[in-house]
Structure 1
Amino acid sequence: MYDMYLKLIIIFGIFVTISIIMDFKAKNFISENHNMIWYALMFSCAHIVAFNNYDNPYYKFITPVVLSSFVACVIIFHKNKRYLFREIDKKLIDENRDGIIEIINNYKNNYLDDKSEITLLKNRVVFEGMSNAQVEEGLILIGDFLNKNRKKYTVADYVKYIVKSWILPYVISIAVAFIAIKLIMNSL
């Protein structure tokens, strides 16, 4: 039983570590499709480890297959392209929202037809009806603006970001997962 908990902690630890590295490696944006695939993979691995000792295929394989199928369908059938801002830049985005909206509006007015659209949501930019080249141009314009306005992050900024955005949520998630698994196992 505790072996399973240790495996889950290791899976979540690997997930958090790779997610932090991905966030730091990204210049300004992370594709939402890649993010969804990463979360589905982590959840599926954790689910298979948690229910490895059960013969019932529902607990073992059906849930990860359904989740993976759902993610695949969303990725295939989404006609728009979505890009998440890096988590560490959340405050930067909030402070410079008006400048980003101005860049988006200028790009829409000068380079896009009536069928194309760029939308700035809270933590993402959504491109609809645009070619890959247009999406890339839009990302470069917004990214250049962010790079000009970004302050130099200190070690304390990175530590606070990692604790607040990654470690704390995943410690809470692991605790909730352990409680849920324990309840499910006790009911079987």
Structure 2
Amino acid sequence: MRPRSALLAAATALLLVTAGCVSTPGGPSTPTDSPTEASPDAATSTAASATTVPGTPLDWPDGPKKRPDRPETLTESSVREFVNTTEYRYVYNSLWYDDTTEVDAECEVDSVTRESGAWRAVVTCTAYSNTGGGPRENGTGTSTVVHADYFTQTWVYWVTEDSVHRVESGE
């Protein structure tokens, strides 16, 4: 193999190995909620239901943590608790790979305000995970530990009576 070809192959391999370390867990959000047909009572819906908010509905990542239920009554306090729990579980699932994964995540809600008929909550999380490191099946040592960082990231949640949207913060 020529030196240039070897260098290109090594760079490609390095890019593939480190790809999970430099991308955001879960990737970009895409809508998963299918649109519902309007009911005859749609004209009598509340203003909060008709509120248009930025982004798309939150796409839930696979993992052991379930998506929390939206509070029945949206208040500053209930939205704060809901968004904190939602982001923690979202990040946890984004970093989780299998039963050998240990995830450490810390989230904090920076602010909750009422804007344009919706609740706007800003939440910041820092997390990491380690997967593997257990004994190999053939008993010849231990498996490699795979480490993933979720560097400090801030997201804006828009919560209405009908939807939850998560948008990357520009703050």
* Structure of higher RCO (CA pairs closer than 8 Å, 6+ residues apart): 1
**TM-score bracket, shorter-length normalisation:** under 0.3
Normalising by structure 1, we get a TM-score of 0.23
Bigger strand share: 2
Bigger helix share: 1
Normalising by structure 2, we get a TM-score of 0.24
